[in-house]
Amino acid sequence: MSEDVLFQLKHVSKGFVKGKEKISIFDDLNMSIERGDFVAIMGPSGSGKTTLLNMLGGVDQPTGGEIWFDGTRIDSLSESALTRWRAENIGFIFQFYNLMPMLNAQRNVELPLLLTKLSKAQRRKNVETALALVGLSDRAKHMSSEMSGGQQQRVAIARAIVSDPKLILCDEPTGDLDRGTADEILEMLQLLNRDHGKTIVMVTHDPAAAKYAKRTLHLDKGQFVQREIVA
Amino acid sequence: MNDLYLIYKNMTRKPLRLFLTCFAIFIAFLIFGAVTSLKTALNSSVALSADNRLVVFNRINFTQSLPIAYFEKVAAVEGVENVTHLNWFGGYFQEPSRQIVTLAVDPESYLRVYQEVVIPENLKQAWLNNRQGALVGEKLAQIYGWKVGDRIPISSNIFTHKDGGYTWEFEVSGIFKGDTEQYDTRQMLIHYKYFMETQTFGDDWIGWMALTTKDPSLNEKVAKTIDDNFANSQSETDTSTEKSFNKAFIEQIGNIGLIIFSVVFTAFFTILIVVGNTMALAVRERTGEIAVLKTLGFSSQRIFRMVLSESLLIALIGGLSGLAAAWLLVEGVKTFLARFLPNLILDSHIAVQALLYMLLLGLITGLLPAFNALRLNIVSAFNRQ
Amino acid sequence: MGSLIAQILSVTLMNLGSLRRRLWMSLAMVLASAVVVAILLAFLAMAKGFEETMRGAGSSQIAILMREGSSSELSSAILQDQVNLLSESAGIARSANGPLISPELYVIVDGIKKSTGTEANIPLRGLNKTGMAMRTSMRLVRGRMFTPGTNEMIVGEGVLREFSGFEIGKEVRFGKNLWTVVGVFSTGGNIFESELWADIKIIQSHYNRGSSYQSIRLQLDNDGGLGSIKETIAREPRLNLEAQSEREYFASQGKQLQYIATFGWVISAVMALGALAGALNTMYTSVADRAKEIATLRALGFSNFSAFCGTIAEAMVLAVAGGLLGSLAAYLFFDGLNTSTLGGSFTQVVFRFEMSPDLFLQGAILALAIGFISGFFPAWRAARMPVIVAFRHAA
């Protein structure tokens, strides 16, 4: 295994039982993601791309096969171990931002830092840096209800990077935004990947969004159907 | 920012709802505190009775009298430590509605049997030496502003004075305290001999007797000996512990009291159910947010603790303020009601009980949603969105 | 105008249709309203029952005389001379047998309460033929009248209901004396039914009362009769008595449980505040839950007044449902419930909870008030809901 491989899926299968039927989403799925990569995963609805993302994030677990992350096998970790692992390694960006409505931007960004042992001053510094990076330093005290969708998503990005995770997972990050705003967000992700070396995996159904990634994987009926296309 | 801040923010996200919820809890515990105090006050004479004190009444009913000869006979019964006799004077001050518990007693033996009566030695001697003297309880003296040396006219709604009229004049020889805060000192004691000589209703009868046994274990034997002694005489006796007599008297108020209190407590618990439902719902609404926190890496236990703390906090805020209001209320009406309910007090016992119910409310309303949060599957939580 | 009513109606129906989405909150509101109404009714029924029992006893044509300063028959004492003196007074109705005057004795005996199995006080009243004749509402339900000069007694229906051992033919021991129950009497549900009656001479001798009495009842000759009696008492210093009509006497005794009605209203009012808080929560939740529907309707052109009325109507329906439930529960649990408590003379008064229509009316008013208040403020919010909400994304 190359030193540069961050994520590796080996013969991963996933299925669930619905009534009497056994439904299979993946069967023998293999993939690897290297450090510094920016991968877009595309596919029609029901192709399993969100399930894949959930498994990468340690939110969902495969029924068979192995998932390796940075030299650790994560598919067999207990739930509490996975929770700790997520807090240390993964940043999440959701389609509907999922900010805490009762907290302002600054507090929302600070949220993941509650899981670290950083000092108060250090935490404030990290939050300021993250907000500056997404260009929202002047909105630190705003509540999510006072911000546009694009601004909310930028807060979500700041929240995803504030604890300096190794991997950022994005689930349709622009699905709820107009073209112009979507491009801003995607450019920001690209910048994080290019200038800050963040590894990013993004699920999307928008080809225009996928173009911002370094490469795109097409998922259909639980299989990658095309070879990787380098953007 | 820390977990406490998150809990606080969660709680206050809908200030109106928080206020209404706390207010309902406030009301519930206000009522609980006040009504329980009332109930305890009504029952307090039972709790305060001495273990080794017996009372001897006429078997027909406690309003019927006994011959004074019984006094010596009871004193001779084995196991009896001290015995005294009492007569109900039916006293009132100026207006028939201002009734005063006035007992005509044999002074020296009374003070031996009722050790709760605390009085300085010099005042005690003064009373023993003054046939017209009265020993007045502290609370009673406060109500009418009586002081040692005052001459007070006390009327009887039962007896007639030999000189005509129903009013006797007594001199306040001393003011006594109870050995505990709860001891009812709204009463006065007068000399039996003086009472007998000045009233017109025949001589040498007593209302009832009170005695102490050498040991509580002798109670039953002593009671039986006394009652057997007087069996088949003109006045048969009924001897029971003071505790059971007081209890029986309270029970005469009957199931009315029981009905009232059970109705009120049913209401108390219903309010808690209604409130608990709201609180549980408030957490259920946040399923999505809890899923996000979990995704971010907050451990299930930590979320469990946060949800539970929130319900506990709400229960305590509403409950403690309600209890405090009940305390203020009880303290406020205490002096006003002192004539009817001397022992109206919201004591630590009631407070602890209330606190227990608050914790229970917080735990029950918090546990279910907290448990759901603990087991929440992030994937299905997001799918529901 | 017609369209406004149609609007309100359709909004209301939609609100009620969506109740299932808010099942638990709605049930909580119903429960809250039910409890408050039930509590109020319970207290009122208790006070009402007691009042009826007391009120039925008093006649304005009968005067009751007791020793000055005595607040009840138990503590009063009257001598034979005084009875003789008084019977000459003007104002007393007379029959062929002489003045209608009844000196009575009132002693307390113990009976065993059925409900608790413990001893409680029952009044044993000694009276003569005149006294019996004066109580026009009294009739024997079973058995026969006691024979004067014997240890026979008749018992009130209330005593029979609440105490054990007073059935006809039973022998009852009070102290040394053995009594036989020979009859059961009714006085139409009033307080006399809580008593035992026997011959006055026998009671005087058994209880060492010589020829003394505790109260005098006398039939007044006309409405001015009481005045004449009072004049006689004022004139004659040996008559240290106080006269009042029986109605006044029992009215003052009946006041005793009036505090229960007051206590009931206070408790219910305070509880109602708590319930109101719960109900308001329910209704605010309802408005929040229906925000999008309301806004959509507004966008379609429905007036904000219809949104207001729809919410109020929902609150009223829930509160009234609770009120009905509470009334039903109170009726099932409390109506006709027999009980007894300590009355004015340390004796047991037996009475029934009485759930009369006017009590239900009071309960209904309370339920409607809860519904209206808990609906009003959320309805106000619903009415001012900005139409833009309809176009907002899922919250």
Do residues B162 and B199 touch, judged by C-beta distance below 8 A?
yes
Instruction: Pick left, alpha or beta for residue C210 (phi over 0 → left; psi -120 to 50 → alpha; otherwise beta).
Output: left
pLDDT at B360: 92
Q: How confident is the model at residue B237 (pLDDT cuts 50, 70, 90)?
A: confident
- Reading the block at residue B357, the tokens are 């119910």
- Reading the block at residue B350, the tokens are 């009631």
pLDDT at A231: 43
Could you tell me which residue, C393 or C251, shows the higher pLDDT? C251
Strands C215-219 and C62-67: what pairing? antiparallel
pLDDT at C2: 57
State the average pLDDT for chain C: 84
The rounded distance, in Å, linking the Cα atoms of B241 and B54 is: 4
Residue C75 DSSP one-character state: G
Largest Cα separation within chain A, whole Å, is 56
Chain centroid, CA C162 distance in Å: 17
The rounded distance, in Å, linking the Cα atoms of B297 and A167 is: 14
Do residues A170 and A200 touch, judged by C-beta distance below 8 A?
yes
The rounded distance, in Å, linking the Cα atoms of B93 and B154 is: 5
pLDDT at A1: 47
Q: Considering only alpha carbons, which residue of chain B is nearest residue A143?
A: B13
pLDDT at C395: 40
Residue A44 in 3-state DSSP? coil
pLDDT at B146: 94
Interface predicted TM-score of the whole assembly (ipTM), two decimals: 0.79
pLDDT at B48: 64
Mean pLDDT (whole number) for B245-252: 71
Mean pLDDT (whole number) for B178-205: 86
Q: Residue B46: pLDDT above 70?
A: no
pLDDT at C106: 86
- Which residue has 């009369």 as its token pair? C356
pLDDT at A230: 47
Do residues C52 and B309 touch, judged by C-beta distance below 8 A?
no
What are the mean pLDDT values of chain A's consecutive 10-residue runs (231 residues total)?
78 82 84 92 83 86 89 86 88 88 90 87 92 92 90 93 91 88 92 92 90 90 66 43
**pLDDT by residue (tens digit) across B190-199?**
999 999 999 8
pTM: 0.73
Could you tell me which residue, C348 or C324, shows the higher pLDDT? C324
CATH class of A37-61+78-230: alpha beta
Mean pLDDT (whole number) for C189-194: 83
Shortest distance between the Cα of A154 and any Cα of chain B, in A, equals 16
Mean pLDDT (whole number) for C143-162: 92
pLDDT at A162: 92
Q: How confident is the model at residue C323 (pLDDT cuts 50, 70, 90)?
A: very high
The rounded distance, in Å, linking the Cα atoms of B301 and B309 is: 12
Mean pLDDT (whole number) for C181-196: 88
A121 interface with B at CB cutoff 8 Å:
no
Nearest residue to C32 via CA among B11, B22, B277: B277
Mean pLDDT (whole number) for B219-228: 89
Q: Residue C194: pLDDT above 60?
A: yes
pLDDT at C70: 72
Chain C interface, best mutation among B14, B18, B20, B230, by max C CB count within 10 A: B20
Shortest distance between the Cα of B32 and any Cα of chain A, in A, equals 34
B293 interface with A at CB cutoff 8 Å:
yes
pLDDT at B47: 62
**pLDDT by residue (tens digit) across C123-152?**
899 999 888 888 888 899 999 999 999 999
Residues of C in contact with B58 (CB under 8 A): 175
Instruction: Pick left, alpha or beta for residue A155 (phi over 0 → left; psi -120 to 50 → alpha; otherwise beta).
Output: alpha
Residue B166 and residue C69: Cβ atoms within 8 Å?
yes
Class of residue B122 by CB neighbours under 10 A (exposed 0-12, middle 13-18, buried 19+): exposed
Q: How confident is the model at residue C342 (pLDDT cuts 50, 70, 90)?
A: low
All partners of chain C with 3 or more CB pairs under 8 angstroms:
B
**Residue ranges of B 273-292 with Cβ closer than 8 A to chain A:** 288-289, 292
Do residues B208 and B60 touch, judged by C-beta distance below 8 A?
no
pLDDT at B90: 85
pLDDT at B243: 80
Do residues A117 and B29 touch, judged by C-beta distance below 8 A?
no
**pLDDT by residue (tens digit) across A31-65?**
899 999 999 999 887 788 888 888 888 888 888 89
Chain B interface, best mutation among C271, C284, C287, by max B CB count within 10 A: C271
The rounded distance, in Å, linking the Cα atoms of C284 and B317 is: 22
Q: Residue C1: pLDDT above 60?
A: no
State the average pLDDT for chain B: 86
Could you tell me which residue, B181 or C333, shows the higher pLDDT? C333
Strands C119-127 and C196-199: what pairing? parallel
Residue A98 and residue B300: Cβ atoms within 8 Å?
no
A84 interface with B at CB cutoff 8 Å:
yes
Report in angstroms the alpha-carbon separations of B23 from B279, B312, C26, C281: 13, 15, 19, 11
The DSSP element (H or E) to which B123 belongs, if any, is: helix B121-129
**pLDDT by residue (tens digit) across C261-288?**
777 778 878 888 888 888 898 888 888 8
Do residues A22 and A199 touch, judged by C-beta distance below 8 A?
no
Could you tell me which residue, B63 or B87, shows the higher pLDDT? B87
pLDDT at B272: 84
Please report, for chain B, the start and end positions of each structural domain, with discontinuous segments joined by +. Answer: 3-46+254-384, 65-234
Q: How confident is the model at residue C257 (pLDDT cuts 50, 70, 90)?
A: low
C46 interface with B at CB cutoff 8 Å:
yes
Mean pLDDT (whole number) for B212-241: 87
Residue C146 DSSP one-character state: P
Residue B295 and residue A92: Cβ atoms within 8 Å?
yes
